[in-house]
């Protein structure tokens, strides 16, 4: 999850390092804090009632 440490405007490290880390993720997509929040919201909704976790 990128909570600001991989965002150029708020990171405390060199931009080259940030780009190297981002490149290690599939499609260079780093998760955002709202990603798990949307999953949890779906799981507790009526749409997620058939999820079994298997």
**Domain housing 20:** 1-49
Q: Is residue 1 part of a domain?
A: yes
Q: Is residue 54 part of a domain?
A: no
Looking at residue 16, its pLDDT comes to 92
First to last CA, the chain: 24
pTM over 0.85: no
Q: Note the pLDDT tens digit of each residue in 1-54.
A: 888 888 888 888 888 988 898 889 888 788 888 999 999 999 889 988 887 666
Domain total of the chain? 1
Q: Is residue 36 part of a domain?
A: yes
Looking at residue 27, its pLDDT comes to 84
Rounded Cα gap, residues 51 and 31, in angstroms? 22
Looking at residue 41, its pLDDT comes to 93
């Amino acid at each position: 999850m990128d909570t600001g440490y991989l965002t150029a405007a708020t990171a405390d490290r060199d931009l080259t390092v940030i780009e190297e880390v981002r490149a290690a993720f599939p499609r260079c997509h780093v998760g955002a804090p709202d990603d798990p929040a949307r999953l949890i919201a779906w799981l507790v909704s009526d749409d997620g009632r058939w999820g079994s976790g298997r």
